[in-house]
Structure 1
Amino acid sequence: MTEILSDHLLNYIDGAWKASQSARVFRDVNPADVHDVIGEFADSTRDDAVAAVEAAVAGQPGWDRIGPVARGDVLFDVAEVFASRIEEFAVAVSREQGKSLNEARGEAKRALDILRFTAGEGRRLNGSTLPAEQSRVIAMTWRKPIGVVGLITPWNFPLAIPMWKVAPALLSGCAAVLKPSPLTPWTSALLAQAFIDGGVPGGVLNLVQGDREAGEAIVAHPEVRGISFTGSLPVGLAIQQAVAPRLARTQLELGGKNAAIVLADADLDLAADAIVHGAFGQAGQRCSATSRVVVDRSVREDLIERLIQRAGQLRVGRPDDARTGLGPVVNQERLDACLQAIDQAAADGGRIRVGGHRVQDGLPDGYYVAATVISDVAADSELAQEEVFGPVLAVIDADGFDDAMRISNSVKYGMSGTIFTENRAHVFDALDRFEAGMLHVNRPGVGAWPHMPHMGAKLSQYGAPECSPEVWEFYLEWRSACIAFPEQ
C-alpha cells in the first residue's frame, strides 16, 4: 500500500502525474489516529487548475468523436480494473475518512455498481425521430456533451461521489477536472489511477488536489461549461453566483436536515433499528443522514427507550476493529461542531438521553464522539434546524400525522424524508407532502440505488439529479435537425 501511495502524491494533468507548480504540499492524516500520517499531497494553485482545464479543453474533441458506445466500452474496462482493487479502495477510504472497513467496502461496491450502470448507458443515450410538417423531411433530435466540466467532491463519500460524477461526465463525452476534498486525496488518486489503467486517454480526466484556491480557479475558468459540486450550502451558493454571468450549468447537492416520522401505529423496533442505522452509520456524516426524529407523543418514551438502548450499544472504536459500531468523525472541525451542537441543544432545553461527549479512553488520539440522542428538542431550535453532520440525533414531539408533516417540512433543506406507519393512507399522503427528494417508508432513509435519482429539494439541491438516467440533463444538451430529401 505504501508503494502505491508513493506514486500518487501529485496531480494528474494531461496524462502525467505532476507536482504542484508551487511545490506546496499538505498532510493527510488518519482521523482515527492523528499520529498516523498517510502522506503529503500537492497543494495546488490557480496555475495548476488552469493547466488541468486547458488539458481537458484539448482532450475534449477527440473524446467526443469516438461516441458513447465506445466510451461505454472504456468504462467497462475501467470497471474490470476497479473490481480487482475493491479491498485496496476500502482500506484507503477507511484509513483516510474514518468509516469502518465494512462501511468502506460497501462504498467501494456502490462505486463499482455506479460505474457499471453508467457504462451500460452508452447504448441508451438516444434522441428521437419526430413527425415532420412537410413531406420528404425527417425530423430528429440527439444529444451532445456540454463541454469541459469541473467536478468538486467532498470527503464523506470520497469514492462513491467522485465516481457518480466522473463516470457520467466521461460517458457523456465531457472531459473533466476532478478536485476532491483535501481531507481525502489518497482515495481520489487511486480512483484516477483506475481510470488511467482502464484506458481513459490523457487530458480527458484530470485530477487537481488542493483546497479553495484550486477550486475557485476551476469554477472561474471561462472554458468550464458546467460545475458539479457536492458540499455545503454556502459554497454551493458561491459557485452558483460565480458562474451565473457566463450561464455555465451547475449541479449542486448541498446540505440536509432529514426527518424520520414515527406515528403511533409504527413498529417501534423496526423504526428504532432503521433510525439508528440512518443517524449513526458513518458517524452521521451523510447528507441523507437521519438527524431528526419526529415522533407522536403517545409513543415518544417507548421509542426513546429503544433508541437509547441501541445507540448505547454502539461500540466507539477504530475503523479497522471489527467490533466497532461507530468510528470517528473526520477532523477537529467536525468534532468541535458536534460538541458545540450538543452544548447548545442542552442550553436550549434539550435533554441528553445517551452520549453527548467525546470518547477518548482506550482509543488512539482521534476524533471520536459517542452516539448522542437528545429529546425535548423544540422544532424551531438550532439543533432541529441546522445540519450538524455528526452522530447527533434530535427527538421532536408531534401531535399526530399533520403536525409531524408540518415539523418535518419546517427546515430549509429537503434531502430525504422517512415515515414509519402501518396506515397506507398516511404513507401515500406523506409521499405527496414531504418536501424532500428521496423518500422512504418503514426503512432507513439514507439514499437510493445507482439507477435511481440521487437528489434533494429546496436548498438541498439545484440542477439535475445525480446517478440514474436523469443525470444526462446536466452533462448533455439537445440538438435538433430537419433533413429534407429530394425525390429521385
Structure 2
Amino acid sequence: MAIQTHDELLTTIKDALQACGYVGELGGGSLQTRTPMTGEDLFAIEGTTKEQATEMIALADEAFKSWREVPAPRRGNVVKRWGQLLAEHKHDLGLLVQIEAGKSISEAEGEVQEMIDICDLALGQSRMLYGKTMPSERPGHRLMETWHPIGVVGVISAFNFPVAVYSWNTANALVCGDTVVWKPSEMCALSALGAHALLSRAIADCGEDQNISQLILGDRNVGEVLLDDPRVELVSATGSTRMGREVAPRVASRFGRYLLELGGNNAGIVTPSADLDLALRGIVFAAAGTAGQRCTTMRRLIVHESIADELVDKIVAAYKTLTIGDPRDESVLVGPLLHQGAYDDMQQALKTAKEQGGDVLVGGERVLVDDSEKSFYVQPAVVRMPEQSDIVHNETFAPILYVMTYSDFNEAIALHNAVPQGLSSAIFTENNSEAEIFLSASGSDCGIANVNIGTSGAEIGGAFGGEKETGGGRESGSDAWKAYMRRSTNTVNYSGELPLAQGVKFL
C-alpha cells in the first residue's frame, strides 16, 4: 500500500475495524495504541479492569456448561465460519497486524492465512477427537479412553504474532468444547479487536452463545487474573522465558495446567556438502525477516570451517542489499523494531559481543526513516564469534546473527545444543547421514528440526513448540488438541460377573 499520512492511517484503522465487525468507539480510553512504523500514537481505547476480567471469566465458565454439551461437529461449524470471515477480511485484519507489528503486508496477511489454515484443521479435528479401545485382561469387559473438554482456556499472546498464535489455541479449544478468554499483547490491541470481532460474528452466525469467547485488554496486571483464577483450567502463554518462569509456578500452585511457548535462540548448521545458494536464501530470511522478531528467528549459525569464509561473505553481501524502511512500501524487506527498548537491547548485545571477541561484519546501525526519531529501524547484523562466548547463549529479540565455526560434526551438534533454549533448528546438508543424525535423538534437542530450510516458517499441520527453556508446550497441529481436553479411562463390565484385575481375590 502507499505510504499514508497519520490522519489517513487512522482512517484506515477505523475502516478495517468496521469491516471486521467492530462497533465500539475509539478514543478517550486508558490504553494507548501505537505503531512502530512511525513511532506515533494511534488511538486510546478502553482497557479492561481486573474486576471486569474476573466477570468475563465467570461468563466463560458459565457458558462452558452448555458449550461442552454441543456436539463437536456443530462446534466445528463456528471455526468453519470464522475461517470464512477471516478469508473474506484477510486484507483488513492484515492491515491492522501490519500497523501494530510493523510487518510487510505479505507477512501480515500470511499471519491471517495461518488463522484460516488452523480453522480448516480444527474443523476436521472436530470429527476426530479420538479415544482408544484397549484389550481388557478380564473377560466380558471393555477398556477404553474418552476425551472431554476441560473448561475455560486463558490465552496470553505476544506482539510479534498478534493474532495467529491466538487462533492456534482458540480454534482447537473451541472444537474441543472449551471456552476462551484472550489477553493479547497491549501493544496490539487493535489487531485483537479485529480478530475478536470476526469470531464474534462467526458465533452469532452459527447461533451459539457469545460468551464462549471473551477478550480482555490491558497490561500484565490484568493478565495476571488468568493465572490466579481457579476457573481457568489451562493458561496458554506465549512470551519470554522470564515470563514463563512467573506463569508456570503461579498456575501450578493452584494445580492448573499451563502451555508455554517461550524463548528461541535458534541455530542453523551448514556442512561442507550444503548447497550454499539454497542455504544463503534460507539463512537470510530466517535471520533478518520480521526484523529478527520471530520466536523462530535464526540467531546462531554454525558453519564448517572449510566453507565459513565463503558463506559469510555471501551473507554479508546479501545483507547489504536488504531494503530497510516503512513496511507499507512493498519494496521493503526489513521493517521496524517494536520500540526503543528493542533497539537498546540490540545495541547492548552487540557491545557485549565485541567485548567477548566478536567481530561485527555488517549491521547494527540505526536507520532513520523519514527523519523520524520516534521509530526504530536497524541494519540487521552479522557477527563472527568465538565458539564459547556467553552472549550467544542469550536470545536478543532483534536481527543479530552470530556466526561460529566447527571442524567435526559432533562438535557442531554440541555447539547447537549448548544453549538453554530449544525451539527451532535447521541443518543445510546434502549428506543423508548428517541429516538423519541431526533429526535423531542424539541430534537437535529442539521441538522443531528442519533439513535444508531455515528455522522459521512452520506449517499449521505440525505441532509447534520447543523444549528446555522454550517451555515444552505444543500448539497448532498433530495431536496438540489433547492439551485442551482431559482423558478419562473407562471400564465397562457386561459379563454379569465381577472378576478383579491382576487376579485379586476379595469376598
TM-score (norm 2): 0.90
* Partner residue, 2:377: 368
Alignment of 1:140-289 (within 5 A): 140-199=144-203, 201-289=209-297
Rounded to whole Å, the distance in 1 between the matches of 2:18 and 2:250 is: 35
* Partner residue, 1:327: 335
Aligned 8 A contact 1:44 1:211 in 2 = no
Aligned 8 A contact 1:416 1:447 in 2 = no
* Partner residue, 2:427: 419
Q: Does 1:111 align with 2:115?
A: yes
Q: What do residues 230-260 of structure 1 show as CA deviations (whole Å, max 9, x unaligned)? A: 1011111111110112211110011011111
Q: What do residues 72-107 of structure 1 show as CA deviations (whole Å, max 9, x unaligned)? A: 112111111111000001111111100111111111
* Partner residue, 2:36: 31
Aligned 8 A contact 2:60 2:212 in 1 = yes
From 39, 46, 69, give the equivalent of 1:42. Answer: 46
Aligned 8 A contact 1:26 1:42 in 2 = yes
Rounded to whole Å, the distance in 1 between the matches of 2:96 and 2:482 is: 32
Shift of residue 404 of structure 1?
1.0
For 1:482, the aligned partner's letter is: T
Shift of residue 197 of structure 1?
0.6
Aligned 8 A contact 2:98 2:104 in 1 = yes
From 459, 466, 476, give the equivalent of 2:469. Answer: 459
Report the secondary structure of 2:186's partner residue: coil
Change (3 A) 1:18 1:169: farther
Rounded to whole Å, the distance in 1 between the matches of 2:318 and 2:465 is: 29
Aligned 8 A contact 1:354 1:371 in 2 = yes
Shift of residue 141 of structure 1?
2.0
Alignment of 1:348-387 (within 5 A): 348-360=356-368, 362=370, 364=372, 365-375=374-384, 377-387=385-395
Report the secondary structure of 1:313's partner residue: coil
Change (3 A) 1:402 1:469: closer
Alignment of 1:128-143 (within 5 A): 128-143=132-147
Shift of residue 19 of structure 1?
11
Aligned 8 A contact 1:44 1:213 in 2 = no
Aligned 8 A contact 1:162 1:188 in 2 = no
Shift of residue 136 of structure 1?
4.3
Q: Does 1:400 align with 2:408?
A: yes
Rounded to whole Å, the distance in 1 between the matches of 2:338 and 2:390 is: 22
For 2:355, the aligned partner's letter is: A
From 296, 302, 319, give the equivalent of 2:310. Answer: 302
Rounded to whole Å, the distance in 1 between the matches of 2:369 and 2:150 is: 53
Rounded to whole Å, the distance in 1 between the matches of 2:317 and 2:130 is: 52
* Partner residue, 1:69: 73
Alignment of 1:419-438 (within 5 A): 419-432=427-440, 433-438=443-448
Rounded to whole Å, the distance in 2 between the matches of 1:247 and 1:18 is: 39
Length, aligned pairs only? 478
Is the deviation greater in 106-115 or in 358-367? 358-367
* Partner residue, 2:488: 479
For 1:31, the aligned partner's letter is: P
Shift of residue 24 of structure 1?
5.4
Rounded to whole Å, the distance in 1 between the matches of 2:329 and 2:154 is: 37
Report the secondary structure of 2:378's partner residue: coil
Aligned 8 A contact 2:26 2:43 in 1 = no
Change (3 A) 1:2 1:307: closer
Rounded to whole Å, the distance in 1 between the matches of 2:115 and 2:378 is: 28
Shift of residue 356 of structure 1?
1.5
Shift of residue 362 of structure 1?
4.0
Change (3 A) 1:441 1:19: same
Report the secondary structure of 1:469's partner residue: coil
Aligned 8 A contact 1:413 1:460 in 2 = yes
For structure 1, which runs of at least 5 residues remain unmatched after alignment?
none
Alpha-carbon RMSD: 2.3
Shift of residue 442 of structure 1?
1.2
Shift of residue 42 of structure 1?
2.7
Rounded to whole Å, the distance in 2 between the matches of 1:78 and 1:174 is: 16
Change (3 A) 1:53 1:361: closer
Q: What do residues 366-386 of structure 1 show as CA deviations (whole Å, max 9, x unaligned)? A: 1101111111x1233243110
Report the secondary structure of 1:393's partner residue: strand
From 456, 461, 482, give the equivalent of 1:446. Answer: 456
Shift of residue 43 of structure 1?
2.9
TM-score (norm 1): 0.93
Rounded to whole Å, the distance in 1 between the matches of 2:85 and 2:157 is: 22
Change (3 A) 1:361 1:245: closer
For 2:179, the aligned partner's letter is: A
Change (3 A) 1:425 1:210: same
Shift of residue 469 of structure 1?
3.2
* Partner residue, 2:7: none
Rounded to whole Å, the distance in 1 between the matches of 2:209 and 2:386 is: 55
For structure 2, which runs of at least 5 residues remain unmatched after alignment?
1-11, 497-507
Shift of residue 446 of structure 1?
1.1
Q: Does 1:121 align with 2:131?
A: no
Report the secondary structure of 2:232's partner residue: coil
Aligned 8 A contact 1:273 1:310 in 2 = no
Identity across matched positions, percent = 30
Shift of residue 6 of structure 1?
6.9
Report the secondary structure of 2:84's partner residue: helix
Change (3 A) 1:287 1:298: same
Aligned 8 A contact 2:228 2:254 in 1 = no
